Structure 1
Amino acid sequence: MNEFSSIILEMMKNPPDADESIPVVNRFSTAIAVTLPFLVLSVVAVGLRLYTRLHLVREPGWDDVFVAIAVLLNIVGQTTFLGGVKAGIGQHLIYILGTLPTAMKWFYVANAAYTSTTVCIKLSLLLQYLRLFREGYRRTATLIFLAIVTLWGGTFSFMAWFPCFPVSGFWNKTMVPPATCYAFGYRTLDGGTNTLFAFAGSNMSLDILIFLIPLTEYFQPSLKRKQVLAMTGLFGVGLIAILMAVLRLWSGLKYNHRGIIMYDYTFWLPEVQVFSCLEIDFAIMCASMPIFWPSVMAAWNQIYVTKEVIVTVSVERRYDSNKDDLEMAMASSVRSNESTEDMVTGHSTEGRPFFIEDLTALRIVQIKSPEETLRMSWGGTALKK
């Protein structure tokens, strides 16, 4: 008799109440209501990011590649999570033995996709930092963490996608001869749960450390009020992602060393997976906001420019016959330009703002398309035509 069978027999000696109500977080409707809106927001954020980098700025990088992979894996992971809940994840283990192989197939993909997604989003953030920090201790720290995350992520991703040999041994515990399993493969249930907790703990720690690297930018004395507010919003989203990682670890650890309930993993998995989904969604949004937000502001300002240009042209035509009045109108326009020049920021370690504050001056100084305006602003303090 293998360990899995002995645990099932032990649970049957004192089975949970079959008539008890399912916790709210274990319900399929709850899983959809909580995860789907944030999944959509993360997809939209990446879409805006890629549009900005590919079409407006035209400076794509490896950080964009990894965030695109992350959002695709996130879609796969959250879809299979919902499939697992539909197949029985969220109910007590001994009551879904008939559908357990199917439920575990869904969980296998969801867990592997989540593991790889956390790796990709960390790599995307670190590669994004390399574009920002061209020298100094922050670049050194970024390179060190890039190496650590590559090794850490490669190891855990391999264990998640290949938990057993053959892989089918993950969901078929009765196959003959038995599969060779380890870590995520639940060769022993203690080993499987310990691997989940080890990954969750190291993932949370890396999230916090990576989050701290650009935090020093927040305390630059040259930051203006709008920049401070923008970066506060950005770091706020990052803190939510870290909070979700902490809650994910807590939601699993609270069942540890609680007797037979610890092995009733199908019952407590949904709460862990919900926090996993939210963690990834907020991390993706945090990574994308500094990229696409300037394009949103540029598009908004361009609407204002269009109206302003029409008014200016009408004034010049109206006073075309009067040279003095025309010069007064032109001088007024120049003063308007000068009054907004101090609203453009250009502070960063590379000459590129961490988060562009405002494009108000550009909307008057350069009456051009939003695409050209954004390309000029993103080039740094020296505007490039």
Structure 2
Amino acid sequence: MGMSGHASGEAVVGVTVGMTALAAISVISRLATRVGIVRNPGIDDAFITVALLFSVATTITMILQVKHGMGKHEDTLSKQDQLAQLKPFWASVWVYNLAISCTKFSILFQYLRIFPGKKFRSICYILIGVVFVYSCWTFFSAVFACTPVQYFWKPDIPGGHCLDRFAVWFANAGINIVTDIATGVLPLPVFNSLELAKRQKYALMTVFALGGFTCIVSILRLHSLYVISKATDVSWNNPLAAIWSSVEINTGILCSCLPTLKACVSRYFPRLFTTRFDSRHGIAFNELGRGLSGRGDVVQKSVIRSRVAGSDDYDLHSVGSPPKDHELDDGQIQVVTVLEQEVQEWRESRAETDSTKGLVR
């Protein structure tokens, strides 16, 4: 692969199919975790499923382009192949944008399941609104890039014209990178305030490092966009942009799914993780993938106290009624069992800590 924007058609098919397969495995595992294990699916799972469908559609459009000569010089292709290649190219632009948008929505709605803080949620909703507006623009600017629409793949239509590809594609890519960075940075202040074990911190660092890789891919893709936006030989210069687009989409899907997969891995590979219990807050550390925000959590605690003075008499007290200390006669034994049950509403600071720990437990 050179920096001209060229790559072989075989490379396009290999990379796009391989990356889409990895994304599909991650989404299927995520759904198995959320639906089959923790039984707590949400709107974020729906969005990532739709993102995968658009990723598959993007891969199909790229395979069709390769079938009609992508990766070869246009002057070596028949007129029929040149025109047949442009129609899936047109479709690939807007299905790519939809895949990217659905992935962002999935990540942001996953944040809403995890972090209950009012300030955080307000910022998250604002970012969702920004992504929604951006998504609408990228979709319509791709579908109606030319007037009439058919002019994109039939450039011989009289009076047809198109938007400036360079301006539109680079504006869209720039906004995409900014929203990627904003999405990745948004939860960092919450993580910084947590008291996490090293293992948990390393897991979070891994997830966010891969999220950063998605941003890097988006930036690297800019060069291929520049080449294709200025190219007169689209067939020859489009493959590298196609490859980077597929890597970007599917890396985003993979990163979105990572925080939800530990429960699935723990079930089939139990030796990889130990199961611990947070006695202070009643949260099992193997309960991964559940959104904890906005819910009451039942915390059960058992406290056994005993005082020995010499006999076998037992003084049992009812639940919720802690006993008062009594003077014991010589020769008596008092065993006091206190069972307490409380319904604890998650407050912002405590819930943020416990819910976020659920990402990596």
* Letter aligned with residue 7 of structure 2: N
Q: What's the % identity of the aligned pairs?
A: 25
* Letter aligned with residue 278 of structure 1: V
Change (3 A) 1:253 1:24: closer
SS of the aligned residue for 2:71 comes to: coil
* Residue of structure 2 aligned with 1:245, choices 218, 228, 244: 218
Q: Does 1:199 align with 2:172?
A: yes
Q: Does 1:54 align with 2:35?
A: yes
Tell me the TM-score normalized by structure 1.
0.68
- Give the Å deviation of 1:356: 4.4
Partner of residue 115, structure 2:
133
* Residue of structure 2 aligned with 1:117, choices 99, 105, 113: 99
More strand by share: 2
Considering Cα pairs closer than 8 Å and 6+ residues apart, tell me whether 1 or 2 has the greater RCO.
Answer: 2
* Residue of structure 2 aligned with 1:41, choices 7, 22, 30: 22
Question: How many residues get paired?
Answer: 293
Partner of residue 170, structure 1:
152
- Give the Å deviation of 1:355: 4.5
| Native 8 Å contact 1:169 1:178 kept in 2 | no
* Letter aligned with residue 113 of structure 1: V
Q: Does 1:105 align with 2:108?
A: no
| Native 8 Å contact 2:228 2:234 kept in 1 | no
Task: Measure, in 2, the Cα distance between the counterparts of 1:272 and 1:57.
Answer: 39
Task: Measure, in 1, the Cα distance between the counterparts of 2:66 and 2:107.
Answer: 31
Partner of residue 322, structure 2:
none
* Letter aligned with residue 349 of structure 1: E
| Native 8 Å contact 1:93 1:267 kept in 2 | yes
Q: Does 1:27 align with 2:2?
A: no
More helix by share: 1
Task: Measure, in 2, the Cα distance between the counterparts of 1:178 and 1:101.
Answer: 18
Task: Measure, in 2, the Cα distance between the counterparts of 1:149 and 1:155.
Answer: 10
Pairing 1:230-309 to 2, within 5 Å after superposition: 230-253=203-226, 262-301=231-270
Tell me the TM-score normalized by structure 2.
0.72
Q: Does 1:153 align with 2:135?
A: yes
Partner of residue 213, structure 1:
186
Task: Measure, in 1, the Cα distance between the counterparts of 2:228 and 2:85.
Answer: 21
Task: Measure, in 2, the Cα distance between the counterparts of 1:102 and 1:255.
Answer: 18
> What is the CA RMSD across the aligned residues, in angstroms?
3.2
Cα deviation, 1:148-193, whole Å, max 9, x if unaligned, reads: 1101101211222333455323211123x545x543xxxxxxx123
In structure 2, stretches of 5+ residues that fail to align are 288-349
| Native 8 Å contact 1:74 1:114 kept in 2 | yes
Task: Measure, in 1, the Cα distance between the counterparts of 2:100 and 2:162.
Answer: 21
Change (3 A) 1:147 1:23: closer
Change (3 A) 1:194 1:356: closer
Task: Measure, in 1, the Cα distance between the counterparts of 2:256 and 2:150.
Answer: 35
Partner of residue 375, structure 1:
none
| Native 8 Å contact 1:26 1:85 kept in 2 | no
SS of the aligned residue for 2:117 comes to: coil
| Native 8 Å contact 1:345 1:353 kept in 2 | no
* Letter aligned with residue 299 of structure 1: Y
In structure 1, stretches of 5+ residues that fail to align are 1-20, 184-190, 306-336, 359-385
SS of the aligned residue for 1:263 comes to: coil
* Residue of structure 2 aligned with 1:223, choices 188, 196, 201: 196
